[in-house]
A and B are shown apart, each in its own frame.
Chain A
Amino acid sequence: MPVTFTFGEMLSARSVIGTTLAELGETHENLWVLTPDIGATLVEFRDKYPDRFVDVGLAEQVCVGIAAGLAYDGNIPVVSGMLPFLSMRALEQIRTDVCYPNLPVKIIGTHGGLVGNGGSTHYAVEDLALMCALTNMTVTSIGDPAMVGEILRQSMSMTGPLYIRLAVGKSDKVLYEPGQHDIRIGKGIVAREGSDVTIFTHGTVVAQALEAAESLAEDGRSVRVVDMFTLKPIDADLVVQCAEETGGRFVVVEDHLAYGGLASRIADVVVDRGIHLTAFERLGIPQVYAGFGGDEELRDKHGYGLTATIAATRRAIAAKP
């Protein structure tokens, strides 16, 4: 059963992963799904293709190692799990067994950002910095739950590794109308047009950035929102274009360490392309172990919630050239 979805409604990204993989298993006989005991939403694939489903139990390192072995032999392995453990416990396997030989292994998982209230063992907040550092790795972070299916489909023809980051993935708002945007790995999505300032963002906080833009529109502010869901390779041309079209005013909001994630990727483009900016506001997780609390509470506490986003956007608009 394909998942049906409607713009603006809540949808579980996990169920999209489950059904998309089951669908792709049919067209791609070399598609394998592997998990370290996080397989609850992979049941459909497991039941249809038990021979191509591997649950290794609590063993992230061997999970990625096995995926590499399968890929060496011409298969397309998808490793699905929790990102703090995949991106850190299995980091060397990802780097040396997957990225070094440039194998088409996909790592997809949840718990990117301060989400799920598990505490710092269970928040992947350094993962994008780690993954972006790896040669050959393509790095994505997805907020729109419906988009996950599209990205997985596109990834089938990729020849190298791919990292797909989700938040909790149980229930998120569908952000884009079907067919509204040309969704392609490596291309940023202009989720909302605007000319005063650009908010660059990714993952769960895209919805928050859109809300901030909406609220500023009531004051007559024209805020562009770019869903930069591919962090690597970064859509540098879009960054240049936004600098030209929104007065060199940038705000970056992300559910990741403020240094090392999207803000750093954009800052690199700014320096490398010699862009002159009027404002650069960087909102994300400071260098602390964030503690417990609800997702929104933690964003507010650590200075990258809705109110902070609106305030930073106002500052950027007010900045003197």
Chain B
Amino acid sequence: MDNDLMETEQRHSVAELEDLAFELRSKLLQLCGTYEGAVHIGGDLSSADIFTALFHYGLHVDPDDISNPTRDRFLLSKGHAAVCMYIAMSMRGFFSYEGIVDTYGLLDSAYGMHPCKVQLPGVEASTGSLGHGLPIAVGMALSARHRGETHRVVCLLGDGETGEGSVWEAAMAARSNELGNLVAFVDRNRQLMTSFDGERVVLEPYPDKWAAFGWNVIQVNGHDMGELVSAIDRFPATDSNRPTVIICDTVKGKGVDFMEANLAWHAGSLNPTDLARALAALESGRTHSSAAEKETV
């Protein structure tokens, strides 16, 4: 069966994707400024470029046909980045951004701190307890294989999350079942909730771990849209026999200087002054990077 969603989609350029990622980050910060409780802003910002590359370039999905059997499946294993996924999906046409901002975290809202498939059809799985997404993704990939379907199953994990044994049990199962239709993205921001990688938990040699489990390993700068796009372009054929992991080097809190690589910003909220500071920081980071680009051209 051909993936009929592929033909209907137009793919964005790298520059357009960069603009979308900027918009995603701005919207995230706005929400963090309006919502009273804490938002997992650090891990949202580190994943923002990955979400953008997936929802606006890599994934064959149709917001108007969320149960199309040929759609790619996206599973957010690091479920605490739910709000970043909701907004990325809203920008792709799945949900309304206003609906998210107006109800996030409130009683009976579909948009909660962690995604719930029952309350929010369009997300593929209920997650939030870390270490669950990849095993479920293996099940979905096995099912697609069995049915002769050619879509991919894509799963986003946190690097801290990969401390869970279930991740490696799933990695082994994926290799054993030769699931070339499975792709894992790891947001390698080198921070857990309460420590930096290497302080108390040593994750390195990280790519070697995945390679030792028999996976294709691709390493990219997770904030370089060109590299993310080319990794997506290099996804192996879905009927190949090895699962692929894209290890994305990222910075937790990326784009907002006072949040970057700062343990205090795993989760937090922004008062009006801090929101203004955060938006200004985001804006100035953008001007700098486009200026730097012009210089190198």
The residues of A with any CB-CB pair to B shorter than 8 Å are 37-40, 55-59, 61-62, 84-85, 89, 117-122, 289, 291-294, 297-298, 301
The residues of B with any CB-CB pair to A shorter than 8 Å are 37, 79, 105-109, 112-114, 116, 118-119, 126-131, 160-165, 192-195, 200-201
Cβ of B161: which chain A residues have Cβ within 8 Å of it?
A: 58
Cβ of B163: which chain A residues have Cβ within 8 Å of it?
A: 37, 56-59
In the complex, what distance in Å separates the CA atom of A286 from the CA atom of B129?
A: 22
**Known pairs A37-B193, A58-B161, A117-B113; A122 contacts B107 (CB<8 A):** no
Closest 6 CB pairs of A and B: A121-B128, A293-B107, A57-B201, A292-B112, A58-B163, A57-B163
Cβ of A61: which chain B residues have Cβ within 8 Å of it?
A: 165
Contact call B109/A292, Cβ cutoff below 8 A: yes
**Known pairs A37-B194, A40-B194; A55 contacts B129 (CB<8 A):** no
Could you name 30 residue pairs across A and B whose Cβ atoms are closer than 8 Å?
A37-B192, A37-B193, A38-B193, A39-B194, A40-B193, A40-B194, A56-B163, A57-B163, A57-B195, A58-B161, A58-B162, A58-B164, A58-B192, A59-B165, A117-B105, A117-B112, A117-B113, A118-B112, A119-B112, A119-B114, A121-B114, A121-B126, A122-B114, A291-B112, A292-B105, A292-B108, A292-B109, A292-B112, A293-B108, A301-B108
Q: Closest B-chain residue to A55, C-beta based? A: B200
Cβ of A55: which chain B residues have Cβ within 8 Å of it?
A: 194-195, 200-201
Contact call A301/B107, Cβ cutoff below 8 A: yes
What distance in Å separates the Cβ of A21 from its nearest Cβ neighbour in chain B? 16
The count of A-to-B residue pairs whose CB atoms sit within 8 angstroms is 90
Name which of B113, B116, B119, B129 has the most chain A CB atoms within 10 A of its CB: B129
Having A57-B160, A118-B128, one finds 11 other A-B pairs with CB under 8 Å, namely A37-B193, A38-B193, A56-B201, A57-B201, A89-B129, A119-B113, A121-B126, A121-B129, A292-B106, A292-B112, A293-B109
Partner of A117, one of B37, B131, B201: B37
In the complex, what distance in Å separates the CA atom of A217 from the CA atom of B121?
A: 48
Name the prevailing secondary structure of the A interface residues: loop
In the complex, what distance in Å separates the CA atom of A84 from the CA atom of B79?
A: 15
Partner of B79, one of A37, A56, A121, A293: A121
In the complex, what distance in Å separates the CA atom of A117 from the CA atom of B36?
A: 12
Cβ of A122: which chain B residues have Cβ within 8 Å of it?
A: 113-114, 128-129
In the complex, what distance in Å separates the CA atom of A58 from the CA atom of B116?
A: 22
What distance in Å separates the Cβ of A32 from its nearest Cβ neighbour in chain B? 14
Q: Closest A-chain residue to B116, C-beta based? A: A119
Q: Closest B-chain residue to A293, C-beta based? A: B107
Cβ of A291: which chain B residues have Cβ within 8 Å of it?
A: 107-108, 112, 116, 119
Name which of A57, A297, A301 has the most chain B CB atoms within 10 A of its CB: A57
Contact call B129/A84, Cβ cutoff below 8 A: yes
**Known pairs A118-B128, A298-B107; A292 contacts B113 (CB<8 A):** yes
Contact call B128/A119, Cβ cutoff below 8 A: yes
Contact call A37/B107, Cβ cutoff below 8 A: no
Contact call A58/B108, Cβ cutoff below 8 A: no
In the complex, what distance in Å separates the CA atom of A40 from the CA atom of B116?
A: 27
Cβ of A121: which chain B residues have Cβ within 8 Å of it?
A: 79, 114, 126-129
In the complex, what distance in Å separates the CA atom of A61 from the CA atom of B164?
A: 8
Cβ of A119: which chain B residues have Cβ within 8 Å of it?
A: 112-114, 116, 128
What distance in Å separates the Cβ of A297 from its nearest Cβ neighbour in chain B? 5
In the complex, what distance in Å separates the CA atom of A119 from the CA atom of B105?
A: 9
Q: Closest A-chain residue to B263, C-beta based? A: A40
Cβ of B112: which chain A residues have Cβ within 8 Å of it?
A: 117-119, 291-292
What distance in Å separates the Cβ of B19 from its nearest Cβ neighbour in chain A? 31
What distance in Å separates the Cβ of B221 from its nearest Cβ neighbour in chain A? 24
In the complex, what distance in Å separates the CA atom of A55 from the CA atom of B116?
A: 29
